[in-house]
């Protein structure tokens, strides 16, 4: 089982997810967040928090987003932990509307 | 006097309860950038609350949250007082004397009642009892569950109900390498239960299971999931709920139920999900023999649908029943408590008196603050909010003299001859449990009696 952040987070970075993470497994660059699969306990708490449904887990990861499994695993450990709410990116609102959420 | 929250005058906070919300509160305090000292009080000898004694033994990954709590507990600002019952061993007033603030994170320790006749018949239990029993909670160690009848009923369709159904559904082989307590494994190995009925008062679209745990019922060693396809016919309001883009979990759940309904059972046990039914009474002579159920229909707009009885009655013969319709908080002496909702009345974690005014220096977080909803991580956001309120009150919390914190409490403990277990003591117990488990191929074998734990600590 893996839980991952996918492309909908790009240009959004709402960070609501990190406030409910019990193990501080979210890491971030300037563009988006990533989950460290070595630390994540697959509790699913973050999944419904994302306003743009960027987080997918286990069997529910759509095939076209499966590349993100590796991207999360590679990038997360090398980026700083994000463990508190931050302001979304300036483009977030427009992006959310564009995604239809 | 120096400013509160500086190294000369650190903010002293007592946290009552050592579950997730307690540890997240401690974490938020320690990371606040102020000089703080946190004393955590726990009535059991072991920390970690429901992560230790609630999370099911076959979900070991969730228990890794303990690694985070362990790190917090090792911080120099933190001290643990296990086996100290606030309100009994040490009074709230005494905590106020020694700390600038007292933060309750003591959870919701009892179950809601169904409020129907026969509820107290032998064979009618709460989910909490069974969960505490299989997880080695000392309070439930000696409960007896009669699993000699073939039919078991669970009232409720949430996470806890799913755990109870799954533990009853699994074989001893599926459980023996988990940290399930030995006494429970021995009883479950002899279980005659073949049919498990999980009964929900609303429909499949309103079941509160997470999809992940629902799917597990399709992957059990010797138990098939069962759903009557007719029960999956939805009313237009429920269809509208599933069509909502923000309601993916329910849509997935209904899909999983549909898959279950198509399966042909071939295994020894079945776990049957039933919807739109509520218990009206439990019957039996001297012990539970059957549950009388009333058919419900849904009423109301999408996402506000409630169950209403139709008067159509059926009975289900059963030998054991567990109610799992939600937890409820228990009052702590001397602290305000809202009996109806089972929580401490509060505003953003500041505890309120009966007239709605803030009680100085008293805070709450977790289930005792917001009621028993959400999962482990939900408590982090909840505790962060409360600690935010507490830090905003710093000027009001400042006192003329520094608070003695740990030193003051230690003096009380010594005076009264109490046996407090500190974090080093817990680490010893932890290592001993792991060692005991090794012999059986289990991650740990928990101590289930206080005297065993205290004996080991000498």
Model pLDDT for residues A14-54, shown as the tens digit of each residue: 999 999 999 999 999 999 999 999 999 999 899 989 999 99
Residues facing B321 on adjacent strands: B124, B153
**pLDDT of residue A1 exceeding 80:** no
Q: Which residues of chain B have pLDDT under 70?
A: 1
Partners of residue B210 in chain A, C-beta under 8 Å = 44
The predicted structure's pLDDT at residue B431 = 98
Q: Å from A90 to nearest chain B CA?
A: 23
For residue B132, which of B53, B27, B26 has the smallest C-alpha distance?
Answer: B53
A–B: how many Cβ contacts below 8 A? 57
> For residue B25, which residues of chain A lie inside 8 Å, CB to CB?
none
Q: Residues of B numbered 49-78 whose beta carbons fall under 8 angstroms of chain A's beta carbons: which are they? A: 61-62, 64-65, 67-68
CB contact under 8 A, B212 and A46: no
Would the CB atoms of A22 and B377 count as touching at under 8 Å?
Answer: yes
Q: Mind listing the pLDDT tens digit for each residue in A28-37?
A: 999 999 999 9
Task: Give residue B248's pLDDT.
Answer: 85
**What was the pLDDT predicted at B333?**
78
Give which of B28, B50, B212 to mutate to test A binding, by max A Cβ within 10 Å: B212
Q: In this predicted structure, what is the pLDDT of residue B290?
A: 98
Q: How many angstroms away from the CA of A56 is the closest CA of chain B? A: 11
In chain A, what residues touch B378 (CB-CB under 8 Å)?
20, 45
The predicted pLDDT at position B327 comes to 85
CB contact under 8 A, A100 and B245: yes
Distance CA B451, CA B65 (A): 27
State the sign of the Cα–Cα–Cα–Cα dihedral B140, B146, B147, B151: negative
CA–CA gap between residue A4 and residue A47 (Å, rounded): 9
Q: How are strands ordered across the β-sheet holding B306-317?
A: B277-283, B290-299, B306-317
- B246 interfacial to chain A (CB closer than 8 Å): yes
The tally of domains found in chain A comes to: 1
Q: CA of A43, closest CA in chain B: separation in Å?
A: 6
State whether residue A16 is helix, strand or coil: coil
* Yes or no, beta carbons of A101 and B245 under 8 Å apart: yes
Q: Could you tell me the CATH number of the domain that includes residue A48?
A: 3.30.70.20
pLDDT at B1: 59
Tell me whether residues B62 and A59 touch, CB distance under 8 A.
Answer: no
ipTM associated with this complex:
0.92
Distance, C-alpha B290 to centroid of its chain:
28
Two structure tokens written together for B449:
């009696």
Residue B395: count of CB within 10 angstroms of its CB: 8
> Which of B377, B384, B386 to mutate to test binding with chain A, by most A CBs within 10 Å of its CB?
B377
Please state the rounded mean pLDDT for residues A77-84.
95
Domain residue limits at A72:
4-99
Q: How far apart are CA B346 and CA B364, in angstroms?
A: 8
Q: What mean pLDDT do residues A61-80 have?
A: 95
Q: What is the 3-state secondary structure (H, E, C) of chain B?
A: CCCCCECCECEEEEEECCCHHHHHHHHHHHCCCCCEEEEEEECCCCCCHHHHHCCCCCCCCHHHHHHHHHHHHCCCCEEEEECCCECCCECHHHHHHHCCEEEECCCCCEECCCCCECCCCECEEEHHHHHHHHCCCHHHCCCCCCCCCCEEEEECCCHHHHHHHHHHHCCHHHHCCCCCCHHHHHHHHCCCCCEEEEECCCCHHHCCCCHHHHHHCCCCCCEEEEECHHHHCCCHHHHHHHHCCCCHHHHHHHHHHHHHHHCCCCCCEEEEEECCEEEEEEECCCECCEEEEEEEEEECCCCCCEEEEEEEEEEEECCEEEECCCEECCCCCCCCCECCCCECCEECCEEECCCCCEEEEEEECCHHHHCCCCCCCHHHHHHHHHHHHHHHCHHHHCCCCCCCCHHHHHHHHHHCCCCCECHHHHHHHHHHHHHHHHCCCCCCCCCCCHHHHHHHHC
């Amino acid at each position: 089982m893996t839980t991952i952040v996918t492309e909908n987070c790009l240009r959004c970075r709402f960070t609501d997810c990190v406030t409910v993470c019990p193990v501080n497994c979210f890491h971030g660059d300037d563009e988006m967040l990533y989950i460290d699969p070595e630390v994540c306990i697959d509790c699913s708490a973050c999944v419904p928090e994302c306003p743009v449904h960027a987080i997918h887990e286990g069997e529910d990861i759509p095939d076209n987003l499966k590349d993100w499994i590796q991207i999360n695993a590679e990038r997360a450990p090398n980026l700083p932990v994000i463990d508190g709410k931050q302001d979304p990116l300036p483009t977030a609102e427009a992006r959310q509307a564009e995604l239809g959420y | 006097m120096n400013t509160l929250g500086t190294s000369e005058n650190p903010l002293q906070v007592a946290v009552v309860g050592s579950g997730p919300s307690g540890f997240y509160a401690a974490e938020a305090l320690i990371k606040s950038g102020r000089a703080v000292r946190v004393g955590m009080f726990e009535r059991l000898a072991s920390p970690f609350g429901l992560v230790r004694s609630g999370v099911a033994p076959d979900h070991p990954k969730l228990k890794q949250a303990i690694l985070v709590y362990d790190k917090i507990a090792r911080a120099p600002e933190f001290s643990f007082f296990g086996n100290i019952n606030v309100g009994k061993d040490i009074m709230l007033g005494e905590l106020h004397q020694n700390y600038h603030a007292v933060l309750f994170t003591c959870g919701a320790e009892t179950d809601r009642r169904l409020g129907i006749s026969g509820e107290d018949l032998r064979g009618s239990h709460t989910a909490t009892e069974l969960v505490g029993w299989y997880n080695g909670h000392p309070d439930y160690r000696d409960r007896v569950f009669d699993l000699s009848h073939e039919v078991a009923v669970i009232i409720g369709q949430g996470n806890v109900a799913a755990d109870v159904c799954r533990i009853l559904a699994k074989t001893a082989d599926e459980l023996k390498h988990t940290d399930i307590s030995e006494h429970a494994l021995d009883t479950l190995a002899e279980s005659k239960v073949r049919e498990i009925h999980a009964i929900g008062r609303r429909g499949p679209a309103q079941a509160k299971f997470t999809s992940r745990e629902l799917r597990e019922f399709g992957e059990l060693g010797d138990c098939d999931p069962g759903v009557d396809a007719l029960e999956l016919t939805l009313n237009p309001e429920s269809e509208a709920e599933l069509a909502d883009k923000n309601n993916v979990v329910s849509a997935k759940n209904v899909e999983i139920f549909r898959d279950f309904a198509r399966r042909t059972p071939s295994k020894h046990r079945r776990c049957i999900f039933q919807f739109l039914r509520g218990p009206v009474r439990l019957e039996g002579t001297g012990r539970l023999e059957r549950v009388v159920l009333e058919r419900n229909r849904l009423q109301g707009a999408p996402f506000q649908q409630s169950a209403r009885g139709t008067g159509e009655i059926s009975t289900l013969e059963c030998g054991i029943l567990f109610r799992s319709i939600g937890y409820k908080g228990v009052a702590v002496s001397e602290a305000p408590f809202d009996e109806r909702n089972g929580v401490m009345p509060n505003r953003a974690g500041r505890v309120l008196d009966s007239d709605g005014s803030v009680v100085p220096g008293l805070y709450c977080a977790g289930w005792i603050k917001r009621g028993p909803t959400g999962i482990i991580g939900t408590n982090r956001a909840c505790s962060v909010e409360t600690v935010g309120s507490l830090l905003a009150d710093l000027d009001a919390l400042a006192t003329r003299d520094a608070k003695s914190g740990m030193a003051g409490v230690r003096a009380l403990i010594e005076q009264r001859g109490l046996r407090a277990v500190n974090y080093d003591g817990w680490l010893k117990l932890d290592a001993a449990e792991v060692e005991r488990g090794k012999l059986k191929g289990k991650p740990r074998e928990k101590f289930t009696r206080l005297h065993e734990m205290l004996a080991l600590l000498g």
